[in-house]
Chains A and B, each alone.
Chain A
Amino acid sequence: MTRDNRRSIVGALILGLAVVFLAGPAAAQVKIRFQTWHWGEKPVVNALEAYQQEFNKANPGIEVVRDESRYADKETVYTATSQAKAAADIAHFLHRAIPLFAERGYLMDLTPFIEREGGQKFLAQWDQHALETCKYKGKIYCINDYVNPLALLYNTQHFKEAGLDPNKPPTNPAELLDMAKKLTRSGRYGIGLIGSRQEGLFMRFNPFFWGAGAEYLTPDNKRSALDTPEALEGFRTYVELFTKHKVVPPGVIEQGAQEVRTQVAHEKVSMEIGVIQAPLIYKAINPNMKVDEVMAAAAIPSGKKRVSSVEYGMRVISAFTKNPEEAWKVYKGWISRDVQLRNFKIYGVMSARLDVKSAPEIANHKFAKVFAAQGPYGKIEPLIPEWPKIGDAMITAVQEGFSGVKTSEQALKDVHIATNRALGVQ
């Protein structure tokens, strides 16, 4: 091969590569990675796939692609991928993650997009209390797509068998305890509680804690407020259902939300503090259970104060996305009225959109209307970056109370100290 021939071949190769590199991106679709832990979970995946297909068909230049995470390590995955500047374009979280990720610069500020859509007028379509969970240090990092207030779910058949009126669920902790005692009989327990190390514990513990008039922190969020009689009362109400009154199944420390739902579905437990999707999950666990006939929902019998835990779900756009415009288009479509209403119909989730929350489909639904009514009483833990540490200390305290490692007084005293330490109080 002559030198000229070699030069021609090398030149042609370089030209070919240049054409591929230059032409490639123009011809390719923009892929938007849509991350959630629900891709493998029926019936939620049906709603996700419906949106994915609908969006991809209507937007030939953009392709929504699935990106898997898992509930337990969604924050871990997002942290690691964000540090590599390779996080999914859109990712699914609960409200507790927002200040943590915003503080670290992992989230895109949506203000410019919102301004373009009409600013405050656009935002007025959503539950304003929910939207607060998307704001951090003057910026807005998300628009909630669902609100998950908790309610008491109870088995009316068990109520009848125990001589209780199924139309009169408990309205305060004393009644709850009384009824739980009557419902507890051989192989069946009055109420299922969560004691395992997961966010779900707070959702069940907090209504009793706040209901007693307790708070985690002082109003300025600078110090622990766990050294009050109210805090001890709320703590003991939850823990003693298991330790003293024995109306909770054994192994409470090992019980997560799904284990408790399984116990309800198999009629081992008569009551639980649950989420709106729980009835659908009972059906999936035990198709023989006539959930719509047997189960009923009511306000959580929280105590002096009427209060419910609430969980806010949201998507965020990564600060490292290479396609912010396309990501916003996908994002906006997901939080649209039609998609949100369809999501409720498919998997029973309640939208943070006011026009969906007030839709007849929800207002007339046996369970949804009760859950929707809890919204105004919904309360969340303090949204501060130190919360995970404080929350973990409280879970430790609850587990220590459940297992008898410490008395309620000592466990709460220790979490009070740990909270102040986390807040840097000397």
Chain B
Amino acid sequence: MPSGRTWHDRHLGYVFVLPATLMLVAVLVFPAFITLKLSVTPEGGSGWGLTLLHYQKAFRDPVLLQTFKNTFAFVAWSMAGHFVLGLALALALNQALPGQTFFRLIALIPWTIPDVVAGIIFRWVLNPIHGALNPLIRMVIPSFPAEFQWLSSPTLAFPSVIFANVWRGYPLVMVMLLAGLMAIPRELYEAAAVDGAGKLRRFFHVTLPGLSTIILIALALDMVWEFRRFALVLAMTGGGPGTLTEVLSTLVYKTYFQFFTFEYASAMAIMMSAVLFVLSLPYIILVGRER
């Protein structure tokens, strides 16, 4: 039986998505293709001569390997911090307390601050001479060194950057978990309470299972975001002391824009994208299943 829809009706949708598709091709597909092409182009070369030397070099580059390790540690600790802080605040902000909306807004503030600004703020807060942190600590512990060095210390620079990143990034996880918490039916808690479950049991047997999908999505998204973190690290330490806080995005930036080895930087970027793709597979699968 004829549907009554003309060819024009059936294909009109493509016309509507065409501008967005063209835009995506221009800002995503085309640069990705250029990067891929550069990554297999001989150094300083042009045209279509292909080489895999940059990838070969990357696998032997001790700086790149160390930076991969730094990046994985940075992502893992940041995700852990975001999850713990985000969940704790989401639980707190899910309580029916006076001023709930106000506190929810306050908790979102770090998310509104651009990366580079957050980096500069923390750089100043942690400055040994003019920074606010040392005097604050000394108010509680008077014997604490007045000019304690956070970002210049080989042991504390990396944790300091992670701390700043946890502060800046927890609201994304918090908001997602808060939305998940609000979606858990009250009846489940009431039934658990009737069955004699205490607060801790209700958390482990009602709240966490109810949030499991959201937690997975939030962490998967967070992992992708943190893997690409750039401006905060650059503004806070520039990768230093030495290369102790160097992450992949800052190394790719340096290799491309400061060392002018476009081809090698492109190979690094492609490798980084491949790792990111693998890391984001759980999210892609999860979203696919939801549909």
A residues in contact (CB < 8 Å) with B? 73, 75-76, 79, 100, 103-104, 195-198, 249-254, 263, 268, 385, 388-389, 392, 395-397, 399-400, 402-406
Q: Are B242 and A399 in contact (CB under 8 A)?
A: yes
Q: Are A250 and B147 in contact (CB under 8 A)?
A: yes
- Whether, in the assembled complex, B169 has its beta carbon less than 8 Å from a beta carbon of chain A, the answer is no
A100: nearest residue on chain B (CB-CB)? B260
Q: Are B260 and A254 in contact (CB under 8 A)?
A: no
Of the 9-residue stretches B70-78, B82-90, B151-159, B282-290, which lies at the interface with chain A? Answer: B151-159
Return B25 CB to nearest CB of chain A, in Å: 17
A78: nearest residue on chain B (CB-CB)? B257
Partner of A76, one of B127, B238, B257: B257
- Whether, in the assembled complex, B129 has its beta carbon less than 8 Å from a beta carbon of chain A, the answer is yes
B residues 122-172 near A (Cβ < 8 Å) are 123, 127-129, 147-149, 151-154, 157
A253: nearest residue on chain B (CB-CB)? B152
| Chain B residues within 8 Å of A392, by CB | 254, 258-259
| Chain B residues within 8 Å of A263, by CB | 129
Partner of B241, one of A79, A250, A253: A253
Report 10 cross-chain contacts, Cβ distance below 8 Å, ordered by A residue: A73-B257, A100-B260, A198-B238, A251-B151, A251-B152, A254-B151, A254-B152, A388-B259, A395-B240, A403-B244
Q: Are A197 and B238 in contact (CB under 8 A)?
A: yes
Q: Are B243 and A403 in contact (CB under 8 A)?
A: no
Q: Are B257 and A79 in contact (CB under 8 A)?
A: yes
| Chain B residues within 8 Å of A250, by CB | 128-129, 147-149, 152
A389-B254 Cα distance, complex, nearest whole Å: 9
Q: Are B240 and A251 in contact (CB under 8 A)?
A: no
- Mostly, the A contact residues are helix
| Chain B residues within 8 Å of A254, by CB | 123, 127-128, 151-152
Q: A250-B128, A251-B149, A253-B151 are in contact. Are A402 and B259 (CB under 8 A)?
A: no
| Chain A residues within 8 Å of B258, by CB | 75, 388, 392
Q: Are B259 and A389 in contact (CB under 8 A)?
A: yes
Q: Are B154 and A249 in contact (CB under 8 A)?
A: no
Return A90 CB to nearest CB of chain B, in Å: 21
A377-B256 Cα distance, complex, nearest whole Å: 33
- Cβ-Cβ contact count across A and B, 8 Å cutoff: 82
A80: nearest residue on chain B (CB-CB)? B257
A252-B151 Cα distance, complex, nearest whole Å: 10
| Chain B residues within 8 Å of A399, by CB | 240-242
B residues in contact (CB < 8 Å) with A? 44, 123, 127-129, 147-149, 151-154, 157, 238-244, 253-254, 256-261
A388-B259 Cα distance, complex, nearest whole Å: 5
Task: Given contacts A196-B238, A388-B258, A400-B242, list 18 more A-B pairs with CB under 8 A.
Answer: A79-B257, A100-B260, A103-B44, A104-B260, A198-B238, A249-B128, A250-B152, A252-B152, A254-B127, A268-B129, A388-B259, A392-B254, A392-B259, A399-B240, A403-B154, A403-B240, A403-B242, A404-B154
Question: Among the interface residues A73, A249, A268, A405, which one has the most CB atoms of the partner chain B within 10 A?
Answer: A405
| Chain B residues within 8 Å of A73, by CB | 257
A262: nearest residue on chain B (CB-CB)? B130
A425-B268 Cα distance, complex, nearest whole Å: 22
Q: A79-B257, A249-B129 are in contact. Are A403 and B147 (CB under 8 A)?
A: no
Q: Are B127 and A251 in contact (CB under 8 A)?
A: yes
A402-B128 Cα distance, complex, nearest whole Å: 15
Return B284 CB to nearest CB of chain A, in Å: 30
Q: A253-B240, A396-B240 are in contact. Are A403 and B152 (CB under 8 A)?
A: yes
A406-B243 Cα distance, complex, nearest whole Å: 12
Question: Among the interface residues B153, B242, B256, which one has the most CB atoms of the partner chain A within 10 A?
Answer: B242
A269: nearest residue on chain B (CB-CB)? B129
Partner of A403, one of B127, B128, B241: B241
Q: Are B151 and A197 in contact (CB under 8 A)?
A: no
Which 7 A/B pairs are nearest by Cβ-Cβ distance? A403-B241, A197-B238, A251-B128, A400-B242, A250-B128, A253-B152, A76-B257
| Chain B residues within 8 Å of A103, by CB | 44, 260
| Chain A residues within 8 Å of B157, by CB | 403
A385: nearest residue on chain B (CB-CB)? B260
Partner of A405, one of B147, B244, B256, B259: B244
Question: Among the interface residues B241, B253, B257, B259, which one has the most CB atoms of the partner chain A within 10 A?
Answer: B241
Question: Among the interface residues A75, A253, A388, A404, which one has the most CB atoms of the partner chain B within 10 A?
Answer: A253
A389-B128 Cα distance, complex, nearest whole Å: 30
| Chain A residues within 8 Å of B256, by CB | 79
A316-B147 Cα distance, complex, nearest whole Å: 44
| Chain B residues within 8 Å of A104, by CB | 260
Q: Are B240 and A197 in contact (CB under 8 A)?
A: yes
Return A78 CB to nearest CB of chain B, in Å: 10
Return B231 CB to nearest CB of chain A, in Å: 11
A103-B256 Cα distance, complex, nearest whole Å: 15
A397-B243 Cα distance, complex, nearest whole Å: 9
A400-B244 Cα distance, complex, nearest whole Å: 9
| Chain B residues within 8 Å of A198, by CB | 238
B124: nearest residue on chain A (CB-CB)? A254
Question: Among the interface residues B157, B253, B256, B258, which one has the most CB atoms of the partner chain A within 10 A?
Answer: B258
| Chain A residues within 8 Å of B261, by CB | 389
Question: Among the interface residues A73, A104, A385, A392, which one has the most CB atoms of the partner chain B within 10 A?
Answer: A392
Return B182 CB to nearest CB of chain A, in Å: 42
A103-B260 Cα distance, complex, nearest whole Å: 10
